[in-house]
Structure formats: C-alpha cells, structure tokens
C-alpha cells in the first residue's frame, strides 16, 4: 500500500525510525515533524515543530486537521529508562495520553504506535511496563472514544542512522575505531534483526484498513547469536576484531525470545522481501564509515 495526499504528523520525527519515515513519505504527503530535537538538514524541508509531547497545547495544535499520526516519541533505551524510571513513566505514558487525547479531539483517521515485543517478556523492566501501559491506554481510548489505531510491536531494528545505544551500530563503530567488540553478556543471546527500511515499509503498509485496531508483530526473518553477528561484521570489514564478553549487565534484556506470555490477538506481519542481514549490515557499515570520515 502507498500513502498519498495525506496530512501526516510524526511524533519523534528526528529519531531513528522517524527520520526514515519522513524521508519516504514526504514526496507524496504533507508531513508535520514533531520532536524535542531538531531534524537533520536532509529532512528539514517539511513543517517542523520543536517541543515536548508533555506540552498538551502544543500537541493539540500540531494535530489540527491531521489524517494520520505516527507516534515514536519516547525514552527507548532500556538502560537509560530503567535508571530514570520516573522520567520515563512521565514521558512515555503521560506523553502518549496527550497524543491520544489530541487524536480524539481532532478526529484523526488513524493512530499508529511504535511498541515492542518486550510487552510479552518477563524482561525489560520499566521500559516494558511503559509500553504495556501505553497499549492499554490505546485500547481504552478506542473503547471510550472510537479511536482507529494500529500498534506495531517491533523486535530488534538496525540500520543507518541508529543511535550508538543500538547494539549493531555500537559494535560496528567499536570495530572501526578500537578493533574490539565489547558486549555485556556471553554472546549466545539471539535476536531476529530487522532492517530499518523494512520496518518503515511496514509502517506505511499498516495504515491499510486490514490492520485497523490490530496489534501487529514484526520480527526479522533470520535468528542470529550476538557472537555470530560479531563474526559477520568482522568478515565484512575483512579484519579480525578482538571480542570482550562481560558476564554481567544483561539482566534486563531477554536472552533468545521475548515471548514469555502468549501474544493473544496479535497478528504477525510477513515481510514480502526482507533485507538479508548481510546486506543490511553492509549498508549500515558504509553509513557509519562515512559518518566517521566526516567527523575526522
């Protein structure tokens, strides 16, 4: 599905997913960017509102006459969230409530929320709890006000533009700058990594009516251990990288599967042509190499 001739508001537009979504949608739609941080120059040619989702009036003003709202604005790094629980609860939950209220008042056609498969896990700490709370809020706003929503529950996303708190981006940068990999864990932990461009295509497609008022799970097609991931990065860089495994510090992260509870009612999103991990890594490595070159 393509989204055309819509007025689209993207909360968290300067973040990892937000930037990629803006770039893909801006040609055929009117885009309003909303973020506490300024956007990159390459995506600043659409309307931009700088502010916090805790600013109720600003959020309401931004939502005026909007067709679709995408909500990525949140504290998302597990370690940062769990070290700052009160702030994370305020931003992630109260901020989402402000956005939902604005969607109802402005009669927004569709609200699309970026959640996480951590909602099914016994791990994740406060981060998981805020995502669970937001999902419950969204469902309650539907019951009370008839909100048209879609919740996308994401696995581990990677790709160009990710923060250094993103595992793959961090490992690549460490390999390029220190010839070392450092990992808090044993390396046997598994993930199904999803390339960011696949995620953004899914975010556009779930605006289709068949995904209305659904929870949609999106995972990568390849399961890989972190030790294997390190070998893949080393191979693409064509050099040996020294591995350092720190046995502690992985306690709040799931080891191989987030699904300790049954995802009842959720549907799995099937990517038609998922980006192979080796290809996504190649593109991400190139991006980080260019980024480091520009900094020097």
Region 104-112 average pLDDT? 98
Can you tell me the distance from the alpha carbon of 118 to that of 129, in angstroms, rounded to the nearest whole number?
A: 9
- The structural domains of the chain, with segments of one domain joined by +, span 7-295
- The C-alpha atoms of residue 135 and residue 112 are separated, in whole angstroms, by 11
* pLDDT at residue 39, rounded to an integer: 86
For residue 277, pLDDT over 70 is answered with: yes
pLDDT band with cut points at 50, 70 and 90 for residue 254: confident
Calculate ∠ Cα 4-206-215, nearest 5°: 155
Query: 3-state SS of the chain: helix, strand, coil percent to 5?
Result: 45, 20, 35
pLDDT band at 262; cut points 50, 70, 90 = confident
Q: What is the pLDDT of residues 34-49, one digit of tens each?
A: 999 998 765 556 699 9
Give this prediction's pTM: 0.94
- pLDDT at res. 45: 62
Read off the pLDDT band of 63 (50, 70, 90). Answer: very high
> What is the pLDDT confidence band of residue 251, given thresholds at 50, 70 and 90?
low
Task: For the domain made up of 7-295, give the CATH fold.
Answer: Rossmann fold (3.40.50)
Mean pLDDT for all residues in the chain: 94
The whole-number pLDDT of residue 249 equals 59
CB 10 within 8 A of CB 33: yes
Q: pLDDT over 70 for what percent of the chain?
A: 96
């Amino acid at each position: 599905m393509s989204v055309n001739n819509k007025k689209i508001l993207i909360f968290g537009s300067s973040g990892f997913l937000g930037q990629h979504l803006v770039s893909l949608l801006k040609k055929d739609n009117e885009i309003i960017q909303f973020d506490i941080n300024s956007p990159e120059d390459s995506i600043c040619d659409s309307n931009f509102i700088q502010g916090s989702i805790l600013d109720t009036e600003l959020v309401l003003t931004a939502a005026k006459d909007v067709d679709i709202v995408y909500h990525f604005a949140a504290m998302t790094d597990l370690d940062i969230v769990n070290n700052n629980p009160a702030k994370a609860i305020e931003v992630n939950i109260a901020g989402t409530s402000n956005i939902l209220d604005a969607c109802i008042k402005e009669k927004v056609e569709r609200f699309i929320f970026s959640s996480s498969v951590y909602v099914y896990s016994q791990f994740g700490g406060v981060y998981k709890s805020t995502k669970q709370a937001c999902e419950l809020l969204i469902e309650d706003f539907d019951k009370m006000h008839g909100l048209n929503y879609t919740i996308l529950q994401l696995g581990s996303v990677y790709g160009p533009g990710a923060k250094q708190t993103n595992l793959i981006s961090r490992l690549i940068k460490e390999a390029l700058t220190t010839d070392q990999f450092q990992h808090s864990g044993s390396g046997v932990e598994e993930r199904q990594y999803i390339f960011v461009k696949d995620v953004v295509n899914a975010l556009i497609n779930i605006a289709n009516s068949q995904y209305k008022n659904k929870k949609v799970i999106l995972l990568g097609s390849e399961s890989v251990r972190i030790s294997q991931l390190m070998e893949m990065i080393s191979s693409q860089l064509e050099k040996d990288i020294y591995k350092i495994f720190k046995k502690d510090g992985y306690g709040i992260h799931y080891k191989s599967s987030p699904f300790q509870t049954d995802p009842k009612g959720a549907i799995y999103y099937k990517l038609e042509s998922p980006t192979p991990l080796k290809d996504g890594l190649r593109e991400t490595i190139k991006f980080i190499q260019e980024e480091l070159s520009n900094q020097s």
